[in-house]
Amino acid sequence: MVQEGSSHITLPDTGETIYTKLEINSTKRWKNSPPDNCPDCGHTDVQGVEILGAIDGPLFWECSKCGDRFLRFTKKTTIAYLDKTKDLYIDLEGFDRIWEQIPN
* Model confidence pLDDT, tens digit, residues 34-76: 999 999 899 999 999 998 889 999 999 999 999 999 999 999 9
CB atoms within 10 A of CB 4: 4
Classify burial at 96, counting beta carbons within 10 Å of its beta carbon; exposed 0-12, middle 13-18, buried 19 or more. Answer: exposed
| Residue (of 73, 74, 91, 70) closest to 18 by Cα position | 91
Compute the CA torsion angle 70, 54, 50, 33 (nearest 10 deg): -50
pTM of the predicted structure, to 2 decimals: 0.72
